[in-house]
């Protein structure tokens, strides 16, 4: 019998309060019908958006009302479906909602191309005639700056129609790896057959039995060898699609095209890769420490995921985690701390696992609702850090939507991971400063050290791989599976120098789904760097305004471009300084762990 409870067995205080969205499905249906009407009415503005200031304002406001309504409809069905993925009713409603949002985006597709027919002078004149348009100045600037890379309406529509084709490599990869591939079963230390899956591979690599870890590792990567040609072809076509779409929009490279979407210069990417490579010795110290703590003659690829603590996490209940996280964010100011505590009391969080509930964790919500956090809390250190992480996202969203109009209430992924990692960093600092339990301190340190390895270092290695694969295609080279093995294996040997890197790990590129959405993973590495640098300033007695600047950053949403927002918070991601600060913190915590052991 499963020990996981049914949803009805969980106390209401540990479930999110969806009444803030819709009290029942009947209210949802009413909103769905309203959204359909708004979409139909929006199409009446096509061809008229720029005819005068009043029409432009009306079109923008109608588009916002449409998207706000659709967002509520989509979010409700996703949340209800995630509560119990077995529920066919909400799966059906979710499918309807996804169709609705596709219709809304299609209906609004004419607005920005029509705005791009204007000049900056035209925009200024329209604002003079209708002062209410002034709040859209940043939006207009963002739309117009992409004008040189926007083709005619006919060509843009043709490119959009081909998205099903250009997205095909990623879809084929997903179906192949999730539906068609079957990994072998391996006998665990207790004599039970354990089937390897994409989901449990990393967990199995943390098993204390080294022989078992090796068998899992070798069986897993041997299976990838059987599909290398299919996955190699899929990835080659994905890279080729990126390159051709960039050229269609008159960019020199695919990397430039992807980064220009958020107005991030290539120098930020280059600075990250160069600075990380200059500081790989810190990662090497981490790996050497792991080898020594695990008492190994040599660190092999099946040892890399192992914890430095070597035992199960101490128990951290949800109530304890709430207390720890709330106390940890005190340096951000009383207002931030009290708002976070109030959010926890207001049932922002769907806490515990129940039968059928979606796995993992995320922060959600809409402009018209409180934030919502899905978790599957497991009474351990990892769950506590997940709570801190998602609360960072939720507080960012809450403060932004309270301060900004709808058009600027969201934020780019470049800054999204900053807020979540600031909370994790503050939690680490707080626990190390206040907790006397040595076992808990070691687990906290190990958790945070692994964050540096997996987020700062691993994601940068991925970013370097993506850059090189796209350069090969852009230079007219052949992107064969053998070439991909050679390229990826070379990076692994550089990054993991103290470990023994065998040929099987050369195939790891085949199991990374992120590569089918190129040039976004680097933002996880820049995010942790910006976050650690911000916390360093907040905890510095000589920077009394740092917390205030950070809170203003959270309130700014997308009022400005990501780099400018971070500069206002005291961090310049075009310089190596934040990344250097992060490596200094990484090395400092390695030293603390060595002292504890």
What would the pLDDT profile of 296-323 be if each residue is shown by its tens digit?
A: 999 999 999 999 997 778 999 999 999 9
Residues 6+ apart with CB under 8 A from 439: 309, 314
The conformation of residue 180, written as its DSSP 8-state character, comes to I
Q: Is residue 452 within a helix (H) or strand (E), and if so which, with residue range?
A: none
User: How many Å separate Cα 491 from the centre of its chain?
Assistant: 23
Q: What is the pLDDT of residues 253-298, one digit of tens each?
A: 999 999 999 999 999 999 999 999 999 999 999 999 999 999 999 9
Q: Where in the chain is the domain with CATH 1.20.140.70?
A: 9-161
Candidate from 154-168, 465-479, 504-518, 542-556 with smallest mean pLDDT: 154-168
Backbone angles phi, psi at 350, to 5 degrees: -95, 100
Split at pLDDT 50, 70, 90, the class of 475 is very high
Q: What is the pLDDT of residues 150-163, one digit of tens each?
A: 887 778 777 777 77
Split at pLDDT 50, 70, 90, the class of 199 is confident
Total residues belonging to the chain? 597
Strands 185-187 and 349-350: unpaired
User: What token pair was written down for 371?
Assistant: 């934030």
d(CA 415, CA 553): 9
Question: Does the domain formed by 247-307+418-597 have CATH 1.10.1370.20?
Answer: yes
d(CA 460, CA 273): 6
The answer, yes or no, to whether residue 532 has pLDDT greater than 50, is yes
d(CA 336, CA 354): 31
Q: What is the pLDDT of residues 557-569, one digit of tens each?
A: 999 999 999 999 9
In contact, 553 and 566? CB cutoff 8 Å: yes
User: What token pair was written down for 390?
Assistant: 């998602």
Split at pLDDT 50, 70, 90, the class of 1 is very low
CA atoms within 13 A on the CB side of 296: 24
DSSP secondary structure, 235-251, as one string: HHHHHHHHHHHHHHTT-
d(CA 214, CA 195): 15
In contact, 19 and 72? CB cutoff 8 Å: no
Position 2 scores a pLDDT of: 54
Handedness of CA 46, 52, 55, 59 (dihedral sign): positive
d(CA 72, CA 30): 12
Burial classification of residue 314, based on how many CB atoms lie within 10 Å of its CB (0-12 exposed, 13-18 middle, 19 or more buried):
middle
Gyration radius (Cα) of the chain, Å = 25
Catalytic residue among 83, 353, 390, 508: 390
Q: What is the pLDDT of residues 177-193, one digit of tens each?
A: 988 899 999 999 999 99
The answer, yes or no, to whether residue 167 has pLDDT greater than 90, is no
Q: What is the CATH number of domain 9-161?
A: 1.20.140.70
d(CA 220, CA 227): 12
Residue for token pair 């309203």: 34
The answer, yes or no, to whether residue 67 has pLDDT greater than 80, is yes
Split at pLDDT 50, 70, 90, the class of 227 is very high
Q: Where in the chain is the domain with CATH 1.10.1370.20?
A: 247-307+418-597
Split at pLDDT 50, 70, 90, the class of 398 is very high
d(CA 273, CA 465): 11
d(CA 562, CA 573): 10
The answer, yes or no, to whether residue 572 has pLDDT greater than 80, is yes
Catalytic, 390? Answer yes
The answer, yes or no, to whether residue 537 has pLDDT greater than 50, is yes
In contact, 463 and 521? CB cutoff 8 Å: yes
**Which whole number is the average pLDDT over 163-178?**
85
The answer, yes or no, to whether residue 65 has pLDDT greater than 90, is yes
């Amino acid at each position: 019998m499963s020990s996981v409870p049914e949803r009805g067995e969980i106390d209401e205080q540990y479930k999110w309060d969806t009444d803030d969205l819709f009290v029942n499905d009947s209210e949802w249906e009413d909103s769905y019908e309203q959204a359909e009407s708004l979409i139909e009415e929006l199409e009446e503005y096509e061809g008229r958006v720029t005819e005068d200031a009043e029409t432009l304002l009306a079109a923008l406001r109608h588009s916002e009302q449409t998207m706000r309504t659709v967002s509520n409809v989509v979010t409700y069905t996703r949340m209800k479906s995630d509560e119990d993925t077995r529920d066919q009713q909400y799966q059906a409603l979710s499918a309807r909602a996804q169709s609705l949002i596709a219709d809304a985006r299609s209906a609004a597709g004419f607005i920005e191309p029509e705005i791009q027919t204007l000049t900056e002078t035209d925009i200024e004149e329209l604002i003079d005639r209708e002062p209410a348009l002034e709040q859209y100045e940043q939006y207009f600037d963002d739309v117009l700056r992409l004008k040189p890379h926007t083709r005619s309406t006919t060509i843009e529509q043709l490119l959009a129609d081909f998205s099903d084709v250009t997205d095909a490599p990623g879809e084929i990869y997903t179906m192949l790896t999730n539906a068609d591939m079957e990994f072998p079963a391996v006998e665990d230390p207790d004599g039970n057959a354990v089937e390897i899956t994409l989901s449990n591979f990393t967990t199995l690599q943390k098993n204390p039995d080294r022989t078992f870890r090796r068998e899992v590792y070798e069986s897993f990567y041997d299976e990838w060898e059987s599909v290398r040609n299919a996955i190699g072809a899929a990835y080659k076509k994905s890279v080729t699609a990126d390159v051709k779409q960039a050229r269609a929009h008159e960019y020199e490279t695919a990397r430039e095209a992807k980064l220009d979407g958020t107005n991030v210069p290539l120098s930020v990417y280059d600075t990250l890769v160069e600075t990380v490579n200059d500081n790989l010795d810190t990662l090497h110290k981490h790996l050497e420490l792991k080898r020594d703590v695990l008492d190994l003659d040599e660190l092999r690829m099946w040892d890399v995921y192992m914890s430095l603590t070597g035992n199960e996490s101490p128990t951290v209940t949800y109530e304890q985690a709430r207390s720890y996280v709330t106390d940890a964010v005190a340096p951000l100011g009383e207002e931030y701390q009290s708002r976070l505590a109030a959010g926890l009391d207001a049932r922002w969080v769907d806490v515990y696992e129940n039968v059928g509930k979606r796995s993992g964790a995320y922060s959600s919500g809409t402009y018209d609702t409180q934030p919502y956090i899905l978790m599957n809390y497991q009474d351990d250190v990892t769950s506590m850090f997940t709570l801190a992480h998602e609360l960072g996202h939720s507080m960012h969203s809450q403060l932004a939507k309270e301060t900004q109009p709808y058009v600027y209430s969201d934020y780019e992924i470049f800054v999204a991971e900053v807020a979540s990692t600031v909370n994790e960093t503050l939690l680490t600092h707080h626990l190390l400063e206040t907790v006397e339990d040595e076992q808990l301190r070691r687990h906290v340190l190990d958790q945070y050290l692994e964050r540096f390895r997996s987020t700062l270092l691993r994601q940068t290695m991925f970013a370097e791989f993506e850059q090189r694969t796209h350069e090969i295609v852009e230079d007219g080279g052949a992107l064969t599976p053998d070439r991909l093995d050679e390229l990826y294996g070379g990076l692994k040997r550089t990054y993991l120098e103290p470990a023994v890197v065998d040929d099987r790990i050369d195939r790891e590129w085949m199991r990374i789904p992120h590569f089918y959405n190129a040039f976004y993973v680097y933002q996880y590495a820049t995010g942790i760097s910006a976050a650690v640098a911000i916390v360093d300033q907040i905890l510095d007695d000589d920077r009394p305004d740092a917390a205030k600047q950070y809170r203003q950053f959270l309130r700014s949403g997308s009022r400005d471009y990501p780099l400018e927002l971070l500069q206002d918070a005291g961090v310049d991601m075009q310089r190596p300084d934040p990344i250097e600060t992060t490596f200094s913190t990484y090395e400092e915590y390695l030293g603390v762990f060595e002292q504890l052991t």
